[in-house]
Structures are given as C-alpha cells and as structure tokens.
Amino acid sequence: MPQYLLAIDQGTTSTRAIVFDAEGVPVASAQRELHQYFPRSGWVEHDPEEIWQGTLAVCREALWKSGLRAGQIAGIGIANQRETTLVWEADSGMAIHPAIVWQDRRTAQRCAELQSAGHEQRITAATGLLLDPYFSASKLAWILDNVPGARARARRGELRFGTVDSFLLWRLTGGRSHRTDAANASRTLLFDIHAQQWDEELLRLFDLPASLLPPVQDCTAEFGATPAKLFGAPIPILAMAGDQQAALFGQACFRPGMVKSTYGTGCFMIRNTGDIPVVSRNRLLTTVAYRLQGRVTYAVEGSIFVAGAALQWLRDGVQLIRHAQESESLAEQAGDSCGVYLVPAFTGLGAPYWDPQARGAIFGLTRDTGIKEIVTAGLQSVCYQSRDLLEAMQMDAATPSDKTVLRVDGGMVVNNWLVQFLADILGVAVERPRVIETTALGVAYLAALQAGIYSDVQQIARLWRNQQRFEPRMESERRTRLYAGWLNAVQRVRSQR
Ligand SMILES: Nc1ncnc2c1ncn2[C@@H]1O[C@H](COP(=O)(O)OP(=O)(O)O)[C@@H](O)[C@H]1O
Ligand SMILES: O=P(O)(O)OC[C@H](O)CO
C-alpha cells in the first residue's frame, strides 16, 4: 500500500508542495513565489494561470526530488489561501477574471451598503462571519457585475465559481471535479455553517445562481484523481482544507480550547471549540475547523491582514532591510522599548476592529529613531495584534483559562526574538513545533486519514513534536505599559472612533 502523501500549500505569496512519509516527516519539497498584482489602491489580484502552473511545477519538482513514483503516493491533499475568488468557464477551464485575493478591498462600499440595509445580523447568524470585503461573496458578485456578459453566462450555467481549492481540483482532475470542502465553504459568506449547506437567501441577496457553486464535502473525501499524464500515474485527491484550518489540524489542536496561530503574510489565530459553534461577543469569526465523516468541529478565529506582509513592506516598500531575517538581529540590537509603534493597517484592520478604512501609521518617532527601531516596531506589531486576538478569545471563552498555550507556525516563527516577544506580550507560553510547515502537514494528515494510513486523530496527536517552548519572562507592569501604547496607536488610525 502506498505510504507517502503529497501536500499542496497554495499560499498568498508562494506555492509549495511537500512530500511527507507516513510519520509526517517531510521527505522533499519545492516552492515558487507568486506575483502580487495591485492594479488600484486597495485591490490585490493573482494570475490564475500562474497559480495553476506554479502548483503543477512544485508538485512535479517535489516528487522528482523525493525519488518516488506517482504510484507510491497514497493521495494528494490541497491546502490553500482562503476566500480568494475565481470564476472560470466550464468548457475551457479558463478564468474570466484574475483571482480576487482575500486582502482585496474593492467591495468595501458594497459591504457597507448591505450593512446599512441591515443584512449583517442575518449573515452572521448563518455564516458565522461579518459583512466584510475579506470574504468571497462580494468578490464573486463583483466579477459577475463587472465582466461583460458574466451574469447572463452564469445564469446559463456556463461558469463555475471556486476558491483556490476548487480551482486547483478542477485543473488537477482535468475538469472532471467541481467540489469544495466545508472548511473552505465556511469562508465564502454563502455557507450556512449550522445546516452545512449553501444558503439560498444569501445567494439571492448577492444575485448568484446556485449552478456556479461547487458541492460541499468533508475535508476528507474522494475528490477525484489526476489524469496519468500529469504525474505519470493517477493520484487520488483525498483531502482539501483552507490553509488556516489545515494548520490547526497539523498542530494537532483537536481538543476544545486548544489554540494555534500562524504567522505568514497575515496572522490567523484559531481556537478549537469542538462541536459547538461559539458565537463571539468580540467580533471574532465562527468557522468550520474541519468536517470528518459528516461531523463538524467548529472554531473561533481572529484574522489579521498584515503580519509577515509588514516585513515585506519594510523590505520592498521602504527598503529598510534586504531580507526578512535581518529583522531578528536588528530587534536584538534595538531592544523592546524604543517607544515606536508601527500600525500596519495597509489594507484596513481585521479582527477584532474590522475597520476597512483604517490606514497604517508610525508613531513615537524621535531624532534618534533609526532603521532598527522601525523594524522592531514592525515585528512588535504582529505580537500586539496577536494579543488583541487572544484577549478577545479569552473574553469569549465560557471559562477563561490562564493555562492557555499557544502553538505557533508559519514563515515568521523562525525568528526567535519575535516568538519570545510574543510570549512576553501575551503572558502565555508559546510552543513552536518541529515542523513549522504545519499547513502542508495538516492537509497531508487529512489525506492520510482518508487513505486509511491513520485510523483516527488520536494517532495524529501522538505525532506532534515540540521544538522549543518560549515562556513569558517580561514583568507584568512593563507588559501592560507596552500594550497600552499599542492600543493608543490603534485608536489613532481608526476611521470609526
Ligand atoms: N526571519 C524572519 N523574521 C520575520 N519574518 C520573516 C522571517 N522570514 C520570513 N518572514 C516572513 O514570513 C512570511 C512568509 O511566511 P509564509 O508562511 O511562507 O507565508 P504565506 O504562507 O502567507 O505565503 C513573509 O511575509 C516574510 O516576510
Ligand atoms: O496565504 P496565507 O498563509 O497568508 O493565508 C491566507 C488566509 O487563508 C486568508 O484567509
């Protein structure tokens, strides 16, 4: 029986493929950067063909590096940047518009109008989300409204909608499979997370024909198989999940109360709430963590739009650094109390503020402020935003716990200074696992479950390995003072005060 898994992690800034063995150990990997297009202020797009070609290329390269044949791969798992919206032709498979990326704010006005018309409460009750341009529904409606003839073609059943998972599945199966999974569906603003089906009233609200939408399956399912010509032999696709939910799975956060936070382009903190869809009183999202054999595990999520992207801005935008990793030594030199606050609200503020009109700022500059202080403030902003989320989560919890441990992953957490400051400012222990590619690992685990390599999640939980635990060591008076400075800075960039 084949024992290896091929995990695809199609992220915002790059596409990765990793081959894992049955113990969850990476055997080979490949990665491609993905171009970001900013055609107007607040717009963010990706090229669908680049997403597809990049995915195909990294899968082939990872397989080649592993020395394995396609026949030795038990299955493929797809994890993906969520919410990003694509519409393509059913006959040709060609997208009719560039992918509108989750960070894109072009539909802020439309969302504000729907909010004023009183639709938010109903939308939140069904989907667990908020009326924000972040989610897919308003992006999909925008494509149908702005690509000539698209709405009529959609009504005639000629078009298909999907988030990146569905688009890749369509291409990987040669146009034979149009499906999504419950975790990805739960990010569209069209999916009733309680009834586990598309919400017809919301489809009417956004004027979207049901024929556009993919059927929704568990995160583990027989999603289809690749034609032999792609990798030399057919490989079944056995799992799909949004990247953040996949990371929760890869971090083995299977018990209610367990929390993970992923630090990539953005930062996404997710707390498992078991079979209860906890409704946040602090503007966090209720979402599907994963669905296995028809059984839903829910989560609350706090989403921050800019985490690693702040470092990218420091590198590419203002060119204060040449590589993100330089930030660690600069912060070590600057220390943690230079008094500078960088609020990276480049595309508005996500949870718990949800302010699409807010914009970024730097506060506390003095004559002796230099590059290292500003870079340090960029790293600190990620930690302060994490505290905003953790506080909201703890206030939501029925029985707040002072024993929270945060499991972290993503490209930023190689930075020891950042993770220590995170533990300090949160006042909780932070654990960094051996495999920080937990998104890919999580979807590989899901595929392995479907392949029968594991019989249940307990087996997966036993595979999780800690690499380093960071204990908080900052005095509480200092923690309080630094965080108060952050709250003050955020208040000053808000559009609705
Ligand atoms: N040593 C580092 N310190 C801080 N940030 C880093 C470091 N190395 C990489 N990053 C940041 O991590 C991000 C990449 O993480 P990754 O998980 O690959 O992102 P994504 O999945 O969103 O594409 C980039 O935004 C980069 O700026
Ligand atoms: O591509 P990432 O890792 O930044 O994740 C993006 C999220 O899925 C957006 O919700």
Query: Is 265 labeled as ligand-binding?
Result: yes
Is the same domain home to 221 and 302? no
Query: CATH code at 319?
Result: 3.30.420.40
Domain boundary (202, 223, 244) is at 244
How is residue 67 written in tokens? 């020395």
Distance 436 CA to ligand 1 centre (A): 11
Is the same domain home to 200 and 347? no
Query: Is 387 labeled as ligand-binding?
Result: no
| Mode of pairing for the β-strands spanning 159-162 and 86-89 | antiparallel
How is residue 448 written in tokens? 């392995």
Predicted local confidence at residue 403, as pLDDT:
67
- Judge whether 69 lies within some domain: yes
**How many whole angstroms separate alpha carbon 408 and alpha carbon 269?**
9
Ligand 2 atom with least separation from CA of 134: 10
Among 311, 342, 441, residue to substitute to test ligand 1 (most atoms within 8 Å of Cβ):
311
Those residues of the chain that have pLDDT short of 50 are none
Is the same domain home to 358 and 496? yes
The single-letter code of the amino acid at 216 is: V
Ligand 2 atom with least separation from CA of 242: 8
**How many whole angstroms separate alpha carbon 40 and alpha carbon 151?**
24
Is the same domain home to 115 and 145? yes
Predicted local confidence at residue 344, as pLDDT:
95
352 cis-preceded (ω within 30 degrees of 0): yes
Predicted local confidence at residue 398, as pLDDT:
62
Is the same domain home to 257 and 203? no
Domain boundary (226, 244, 262) is at 244
Predicted local confidence at residue 413, as pLDDT:
95
Ligand 1 contact via 422 beta carbon (within 6 Å): no
Predicted local confidence at residue 36, as pLDDT:
92
Domains in the chain, number: 2
ipTM of this complex: 0.97
Domain that holds residue 276: 252-433+465-497
Predicted local confidence at residue 397, as pLDDT:
74
Predicted local confidence at residue 357, as pLDDT:
83
Is the same domain home to 212 and 298? no
**How many whole angstroms separate alpha carbon 230 and alpha carbon 479?**
53
Among 329, 342, 412, 420, residue to substitute to test ligand 1 (most atoms within 8 Å of Cβ):
412
Is the same domain home to 240 and 275? no
Nearest CA, atom 27, ligand 1: 308
- Judge whether 447 lies within some domain: no
The single-letter code of the amino acid at 483 is: Y
Predicted local confidence at residue 347, as pLDDT:
83
